[in-house]
Amino acid sequence: MAKKTKPYKPTFVDKFEELPASIQSVTNKLLQKSLQEFVKQAEFTIAFVNDIEKCLAERADHYKSLPDNTQYNIIGNVIPKYHLSYLFKRSEDQLDYYNFCIKFDEYGQVLKYGLPKDYYSTIIPLFGKEKAIQLAVEYSMHKDYKSENIEESRLYCENNVLLWDIYLLQTKERKRSSIKYCKAVTVDVSTRSVVQDCDAQISRSGNSQMSVKTIEVDENDLAGLSQIDE
């Protein structure tokens, strides 16, 4: 009987200094440009290093199932050689952090960077949770949404922009239901604007929580309300 092939596992690196010098150099330059005097608040947590050939071999069946024109030219399908994970700690509160990653291909080119590449577009949103909530609440009042209870706030990077999703509770299905129905208002703190308005659901299972956006409000409904005045 043939032996079963063990699933491929990447190599994990828990010390930044053990990564190639070229990867260290590019990473340090990116972080310094984005964070400047706050760069020490970005803490390297772990990295994993992929064997590209082994990854491709393991994913061969999946790639064969893709249309020919999308197999290798979609950036999401590019396997990172190096995947670095970071925590940016906004304060001494252990729960007050932003988790982001930096991915490199096998040639040392950046595939993904979880921060904007300039200082002000990074720092204003990183420290802008309270402002994001304020803008989301003001927008919700314009739209006659309920805005008393903030269920969740989440920061993420999309197209080189840091955005806040603010989930405002609207209704619960019933008293014992674990599902909460919310409005997810997406705020760009740097431009003081609302860029998306969605229906959303938050569900809990044990100690875990999952939030899902469902229906997006038509862009025309955002007109005139997306920019919030002082």
User: Each residue of 73-83: pLDDT tens digit?
Assistant: 444 568 899 99
Q: Look at residue 74 in the predicted model and tell me its pLDDT.
A: 44
Helix, strand, or coil here: 108? coil
Residue 2 predicted with pLDDT over 90: no
Residue 161: the pLDDT is 96
pLDDT of residue 192: 94
* pLDDT score of 96: 79
Quick one: average pLDDT of 118-140? 96
pLDDT at residue number 203: 85
What mean pLDDT do residues 63-85 have? 69
Are 187 and 193 in contact by the 8 Å Cβ rule? The answer is yes
pLDDT tens-place string over residues 151-209:
999 999 999 999 999 999 998 766 666 788 999 999 999 999 999 999 999 887 766 77
For residue 183, what pLDDT is reported? 94
Judged against a pLDDT cut of 50, whether residue 147 lies above it is answered with: yes
CB neighbours of 24 closer than 8 A, spacing ≥ 6?
16, 17
Pseudo-torsion of CA 47, 118, 192, 214, nearest 10°? -30
Q: What is the pLDDT of residue 178?
A: 76
Which strand (E) or helix (H) includes residue 30? helix 21-35
The strand ranges marked E within the chain are 11-13, 42-49, 82-89, 97-104, 110-113, 150-158, 161-172, 179-188, 193-205, 208-216
The per-residue pLDDT for 43 is 96
- Asked if pLDDT for residue 125 goes beyond 70, the answer is yes
Give backbone dihedrals phi and psi of 160, rounded to 5 degrees, phi first: 65, 25
Please give the average per-residue pLDDT across 93-104, as a whole number: 87
By the 10 Å C-beta count (0-12 exposed, 13-18 middle, 19+ buried), 158 is classed as exposed
What pLDDT, in 10s, does the model give residues 13-59?
999 999 999 999 999 999 999 999 999 999 999 999 999 988 888 77
Assess whether pLDDT exceeds 90 at residue 1: no
Residue 98 has pLDDT above 80, yes or no: yes
pLDDT value at residue 92: 75
